[in-house]
Chains A and B, each alone.
Chain A
Amino acid sequence: NAGVTQTPKFQVLKTGQSMTLQCAQDMNHEYMSWYRQDPGMGLRLIHYSVGAGITDQGEVPNGYNVSRSTTEDFPLRLLSAAPSQTSVYFCASSYRRISEAFFGQGTRLTVV
């Protein structure tokens, strides 16, 4: 098992560009989520999904879109990148609501 795989690991974008952060898990987990972590802060929930075709907003959803067409993949789209979106992004998955979550190693995004 690879666990939760995020790509790319590093990315630099110009303001206004769009991009998709990829997240894939091979554990057949129903629940997947995206977090961002700014320097010196904890993780903040952006969007989450409780199964294929079902997504919902977290604490800081503005500027991001998600979709869940398969159990394995949960991409995060930045529609028009802004410097305020410079952060480290983590994807997580878990089997049930109440179970341990597995996190990816993160994508470090810089918007200039």
Chain B
Amino acid sequence: DAKTTQPPSMDCAEGRAANLPCNHSTISGNEYVYWYRQIHSQGPQYIIHGLKNNETNEMASLIITEDRKSSTLILPHATLRDTAVYYCIVGSSGTYKYIFGTGTRLKVLA
């Protein structure tokens, strides 16, 4: 399974877009990109996932580069409640093994 690289921390002003990058240069053709977040010490919460096309849902947008070696999670209008650790994970379609890294700690500032 491919591994991911994320910046350890980021700040974002409330109301602005938060753009969280993820590098997954060793991703293989059948691996999806997933994003989860963990608020305080709660259980992680699913945000979005995609294979190669850009995806959008009510929480966020996921932009995957054409070569699929990196992606960006976009929270269009960050609020204080979006302060959390965000995990980018690459999951194989052939197995059920998600490798969590240390994620990006996003702090939304008032």
Contacts and interface: CB of A to CB of B under 8 A. Distances in A.
Interface stretch (B19-27, B72-80, B91-99): B91-99
Interface in A38-72: 40-45, 48, 50, 58-59
A42 B87 contact: yes
A110 to B, nearest CB: 14
A103 B45 contact: yes
Contacts of B102: 40-42
Contacts, number: 55
Contacts of B36: 101
Interface residues of A, number: 27
B96 A43 contact: no
B contacts with A: majority SS:
loop
Interface in B59-105: 87, 91, 93-103
25 contacts: A33-B96, A41-B102, A42-B87, A42-B101, A42-B102, A43-B44, A44-B100, A45-B99, A45-B100, A50-B96, A58-B97, A59-B99, A88-B41, A90-B43, A92-B44, A94-B96, A97-B93, A97-B95, A98-B32, A98-B49, A98-B91, A98-B93, A101-B36, A101-B44, A101-B46
Interface of B: 32, 36, 41-46, 49, 87, 91, 93-103
